[in-house]
Chains A and B, each alone.
Chain A
Amino acid sequence: MRRKIHRAPMAVASALLLGVFATSCSTEDPTDSTSGTDESSETSESPDASEESPADEQEWFDQAVYDEQYEQRSATFEGDSATPWLQYIDGEMTDTAEYKSNKAGKACFANASISNPWRQTGWITMNQQLEALQEKGVISEMETRDAGDDDNTQIADIDYFISEGNCDAFIISPNSTAAMTDAVERACETGKPVVVFDRGVETDCATTFIHPIGGFAWGIDTAEFLIDNLEEGDKVVALRILPGVDVLEQRWAAAEKLFEENGIEAVDFFTGADPTEIKTFITDELNKGEVQGVWMDAGDGAVAAIEAFEDFGADLPVMTGEDEMSFLRKWEETGLTGLAPVYSNFQWRTPLLALEKIWAGEEVPKEWVLPQVPITEDERGDYLEANDGMPDGHYAKFGGEDLPGYPEVWQERQIP
């Protein structure tokens, strides 16, 4: 990405030129003043840019974390592999004797949002897990506030829970890492158990932080698969959703490093997961020349990427998507060489199960690292069969087969 930055001024300049043209061909010369003001706005911003030394992708690459996650991919997980949502890598444990309680408690859940299929699937699973634990008498109720993808709202949500919620425990799925740190610390100060999952925060005050291995592991799995199946000098199109989300940036940071080291040419685009954009970018790339591989930082929209190749009449690429049903189905249908990396959706069960342990006084891992195993072509058939009848936006490793309501609740996407 960095290597392309010097082209940015050119883009702006070409835009200006085009605008100048548009103006001059219509009439006289008001452009002088127009482009003047716009340039002034540009220049007024650029000094700040150099002063602040803005972040680039280097900021997201952390060799130590990379190495750790590289190892964790082949680590041994404690617990039964039939219930991966309870497995963890052996490490520091939190003593929870102080939280031991005999009556059912109230959980307060500050959710970042349910604005994408991955979060919707997890949210459904979580509610069914809640139902199971309510029947068991562990949890009396769960109050949820949804921040609608807004940091500010989520901070307010957590503060509201602290002052008004009457909570016996907090579950927090942070909308962003740094911004939520203070609020999570305030929740910790109440002396109640705090469970953080999915994205992390910059404090270790939480009773347990639940997450799959992580973004670097995803990047390593996917990049290694593409490198193994491609030749040096081949071109990979990397489709990314958004800039600035740590979980996603780490996936790309690892993959980009590996591509560079192995002589794979990679171009990356931000698509907002919009299939229209994905198709446009890929078609333009195919227009430029052959594309041998497609890498995605999330499988949402993978089908559109494959269809772009079909529509263009090009050979299907070697591709990594995600364990979303739409990709698994299309993958089987087309028979392309692919891999479905997994950002374990079953982690949405774990926070409630962690509360069960905490209130029982059992120790829980301080950092609860869940398994994160990609689905290979050999296993694909099993997952397709197991999830038959699920909608396209469903995730194969949702891990709710033993919960009440299976499979109707997931099939009908009953969101409370």
Chain B
Amino acid sequence: MSATTPVSSSASSSASGAGRTLPLTEGSTVQRVLRAAVTPGGAVFILAAILFVAVVSANPSFGEPPQLIRFIGRTAPIAIAAMGQYYVIVSGEFDLSMGAVIATQVVIAGNYIGDDEGRVLPAIVLMLVIGALVGLVNGLGTTLLRVPSFIVTLGTMLALGGLVRFLTGGAATGNPVDTFREIGRGGIQDVPVVEVLPYPVIILVAIMVAGVWLMRSPFGRTIIATGDNPDAAALAGAHVWWVKTRAFMLSSLSATVAGILLVGYAGVHPSVGAGYEFQAITAVVLGGVVLGGGRGWLLSAAAGAFALELLFSFLNFQEVESTWRPTVQGVIIILAVAAAGRAWSLGRRPSRASPPAPPAAPAPSPTTARPGTETGEI
């Protein structure tokens, strides 16, 4: 439990923070936490907790702090990717290029750094720049060229993946120096209770904190407003194209960080990152974030990633054949989304009790639950 507690407590604080614009704000903290827990974005924390209990009861050694912290460490890349995907999804778009970005970064790490310690820092800078560039291309393609993001990022996925493989002859030469891999593989030694505190855990927490701060900043509010109703946001003075482009850049940068961690954790291999885009989208959706934009909490996306990984571990411990894994995953995401759609619409009920009110007041706040319905429901 020691793992989920910090996560869920920070989450509930953000939940209540992000909830300030939702009709969830009144009442004491306890009440707000309880109310947040019954929304899809809150339920995912309970789901993760239940799965955690299930995994531990199936295999008690999993609950020991050292094992647990390792589990968090290995889930960090997908959680970070899910949070990156969150920015894009909440702004109303998709990012299918994540896997290709991760693959690209992995290859850059392998080929550019190689055995040269001195190149570790330049490489990180280079990778971040490339990540930002891919995001910029995705964002501008979506906003200025007006190509649907599904298609732009699909194109980026094919083009980037093909180009990298073409330039490197299919695969990277080998693993980069251990100093670089330490980021994803090592940790602070001799920490009490958990023995080793993996760097990925620290990075994950840092990114979570930064993300929560970002979502509370004006930019965060604008991103949700844009996903909710871009026209309303534009009328309210937001530069929709730039907001969305930044969301894509955040997504690609998250993929870059996930890539850096994966080079350490898994090593350089052409199939690292394969399918990450769909895993990340699944995690985000499991976190109750609505496809189509405007709804959901950042930390729920991360919790979705944890729930998914816990589920897979649970299936492993139950010795369910690994070929059944996709089936279980498929059933879960359908149910989660069906439930979430239902819950969000019920959450709107109070405001509908007085239907005459909204038309009179022109869009009282861009983040009210309503305008996004149109696409969220399809």
Contact = CB atoms under 8 A, between A and B. Distances in A.
* A–B contact at 8 Å CB threshold (below): yes
B352 to A, nearest CB: 15
A16 B335 contact: yes
B327 A269 contact: no
Interface string B43-80: 11011001100000001011000010011001001000
Contact of B43 (A26, A274, A278): A26
A312 B186 CA distance: 12
A326 B271 CA distance: 15
Interface in A112-127: 114-117, 120, 124
Contacts of A1: 321
A336 B106 CA distance: 27
A305 B267 CA distance: 11
Given A276-B272, A280-B74, A287-B61, A270 B322 contact: yes
B346 A27 contact: yes
B169 A311 contact: no
Interface string B304-319: 0000000111111111
Given A10-B320, A288-B59, A25 B38 contact: yes
A11 B320 contact: yes
A275 to B, nearest CB: 4
A12 B328 contact: yes
A93 interface: no
Nearest to B335: A19
B156 interface: no
Interface stretch (A31-39, A201-209, A343-351): A31-39
Contacts of A114: 170
Contact of A18 (B47, B61, B324): B47
Interface stretch (A71-79, A170-178, A407-415): A407-415
Given A21-B47, A272-B271, A243 B323 contact: yes
A392 interface: yes
A11 B319 CA distance: 10
A94 B83 CA distance: 62
B171 A117 contact: yes
B274 interface: yes
Q: Which of B38, B170, B174, B320 has the most CB of A within 10 A?
A: B170
B312 A117 contact: no
**Residue among B169, B312, B314, B336 with most chain A CB within 10 A:** B169
A117 B70 contact: no
Contacts of B331: 12, 15-16, 19, 38
Contacts of B328: 11-12, 14-15
Contacts of A97: none
Contact of B266 (A270, A276, A393, A414): A276
Contact of B62 (A18, A23, A34, A287): A287
Given A26-B43, A280-B74, A307-B267, A391 B171 contact: yes
Given A10-B318, A120-B169, A311-B70, A30 B338 contact: yes
Given A272-B271, A275-B269, A276-B266, A31 B335 contact: yes
Interface string A281-292: 101110110000
Contacts of A311: 70, 185
A413 B335 contact: no
Interface of A is mostly: helix
B267 A275 contact: yes
B287 to A, nearest CB: 11
Contacts of A117: 170-171, 270
A151 to B, nearest CB: 21
B334 interface: yes
Interface string A397-416: 00000000000000011110
B342 A274 contact: no
A22 B303 CA distance: 13
Given A26-B38, A26-B39, A413 B313 contact: no
A8 B318 CA distance: 10
A309 B276 CA distance: 24
A39 to B, nearest CB: 10
B85 interface: no
B272 A267 contact: no
A303 interface: yes
B310 to A, nearest CB: 10
Given A28-B346, A280-B74, A23 B271 contact: no
B168 interface: yes
A352 B165 CA distance: 26
B47 A4 contact: no
Nearest to B110: A392
A414 B61 contact: no
Contacts of B323: 243, 270
B172 A391 contact: yes
Interface string B216-238: 00000000000000000000000
Given A18-B47, A38-B334, A326-B174, A7 B266 contact: no
B266 A287 contact: no
B289 to A, nearest CB: 14
B336 A27 contact: no
Contacts of A211: none
A1 B267 CA distance: 29
B191 to A, nearest CB: 15
A384 B108 CA distance: 25
Contacts of A120: 169-171
Interface string B150-179: 000000000000000000111111110000
A64 interface: no
A304 interface: yes
Contact of A19 (B272, B321, B332): B332
Q: Which residue, B44, B70, B175, B331, has most C-beta atoms of chain A within 10 A?
A: B331
11 contacts: A18-B332, A22-B44, A22-B335, A23-B338, A27-B343, A115-B170, A274-B274, A279-B265, A280-B74, A301-B269, A413-B169
Interface of B: 37-40, 43-44, 46-47, 50-51, 59, 61-62, 67, 70-71, 74, 77, 168-175, 185, 262, 265-272, 274, 311-324, 327-328, 331-332, 334-336, 338-340, 342-343, 346
Given A284-B316, A288-B61, A415-B170, 12 more contacts: A4-B319, A19-B331, A19-B332, A22-B335, A26-B339, A27-B343, A30-B339, A275-B271, A288-B317, A301-B271, A304-B266, A413-B168
